[in-house]
Amino acid sequence: MQAHDAMYIDGAWRPARGTASIEVRNPADESVVGRVPAGDAADVDAAVHAARAALPGWAATAPAERAARLGALRDRLAARREEIAETVTVELGAPLKLARTVHADLPTAVAGSYAVIAAEYDFEERVGNSRVFQEPVGVVGAITPWNYPLHQVVAKAAPALAAGCTVVLKPAEDTPLVAQLFAEAVDEAGFPPGVFNLVTGLGVEAGAALAAHPEVDLVSFTGSTAVGRKIGALAGEAVKPVALELGGKSANVILPGADLAKAVKVGVANVMSNSGQTCSAWTRMLVHSDQYEEAVRLAAEAVARYVPGDPRAEDTRIGPVVSAAQRERVTGYIEQGVKEGATLVAGGPTAPEGCERGYFVRPTVFAGVTPDMAIAQEEIFGPVLTVLEYRDVDDAVRIANGTVYGLAGAVWSQDEDEAVAFARRLDTGQVDINGGRFNPLAPFGGYKHSGVGRELGRHGLAEYLQTKSLQF
């Protein structure tokens, strides 16, 4: 793992216009593991102009050739699996086993899926006396978060490239190293110069410049709802489309008669994965009054198996959160939950034993949580589970839908039809039934304040296309 002291622009690594840099820290021990350039508006402008110049040629490239380049990208990512995993472990703190399967294998699979979709997608159709074409929207500005640093890059870049768009990527400043690895893989895969460009930098400078650039045709952003709102306002001023994947406060609803032990165990695992830094995590567990005390006991037992430790160790299940600021945010919410009157049944705001150095947070479970509490309404983005009680099915629906978010969720039932009927009543974009596995071909995105648009699969490709009809 070696950081580039440069930007990837127009097919080459080029020095930044300025001299400022960003330190990348290992959240497990707080050491500096790399530095990358802190790009500014001038760097963004150079990258956007390179993307604009490359757009006509790439848009005119046959879908089969675009698919071939994406297939080569998939192969390059697969070949660098261990390097990707080790890099994510160092800059994010994800346990190595999770880094291999989720942070390396998943984005590789997504890149491969778009190699297939690009080859098979109907970019043209006949409708009566019209020919309808799906054409690339143009230059895409992609701004990605730190929590799934490669997956989020691929989830934007792969469909955009499959559609015939060119891309300028601004990755999160906490996790820029794996984005540099992605740029290397793009280069090795043989994409033409300017089709993909990388500018590292701070969100308030490089990110804002990219979102506001007049030559960017679409902005795709994943991150907080507050920042997404600002990006949407900028795009609205310029009358340009946006794709926004924002926050979540997903409900995990366990209906009476479901396998309670399994539902609680899987629910706890879902929240603790990636140290709780997952926008779609089921952070609110809803349990019927008759089973509530048993569910709380099971949750406390389950979370005890998540002992924070060195993410490089093969048996570590939970590592640190990404930064000191994130640790302060999460522990602040834990303290607020106690003040609000929730019952702390596991964890707490103090550092885990033996993990005083690094940005570790104790895996935490709250009981006695009411829907109006901040810990039940606001996105914490850490290993914190709230367990809420409901009286009947209608009450469960009310509580589940009672936040501004609507990204994901889960339903458990002994009867699949009952689970589906309940899921259809939820104001959320994705629901897992009885622990259904994540599907990288299914559309991902939210209702309400959780975003605009969809990622992954054919729906994800459609975000980067615009429609033209010819009448005969």
What is the four-CA torsion angle of 394, 399, 405, 411, rounded to 10 degrees?
-60
Distance CA 245, CA 367 (A): 29
| DSSP 8-state class, residue 205 | I
Phi, psi of 376, deg, nearest 5: -100, -5
Report which of 339, 24, 397, 5 is spatially closest to residue 174, judged by C-alpha positions: 24
291's tokens: 């089973």
Both tokens of 136, joined, read 């690339």
In this structure, is the dihedral angle defined by the CA atoms of residues 138, 183, 246 and 252, taken in order, positive or negative?
A: positive
Q: 196 by DSSP, 3-state: which?
A: strand
Q: What is the DSSP letter of 290?
A: G
User: Which residues sit opposite 36 in a β-bridge?
Assistant: 22
56 Cβ contact list (under 8 Å, min separation 6) = none
Q: How far apart are CA 177 and CA 225, in angstroms?
A: 25
User: Which one is catalytic: 91, 173, 279, 379?
Assistant: 279
Known catalytic residue at 279: yes
Report which of 168, 111, 180, 179 is spatially closest to residue 140, judged by C-alpha positions. Answer: 168
355 is catalytic: no
| Catalytic-role residue among 91, 173, 205, 245 | 245
**Dist CA 27 CA 261 (whole Å):** 33
Burial class (CB in 10 A: 0-12, 13-18, 19+), 372: exposed
Q: Which amino acid is at 298?
A: L
- CA quadruple 129, 134, 137, 143: dihedral positive or negative? positive
Catalytic residues: 245, 279
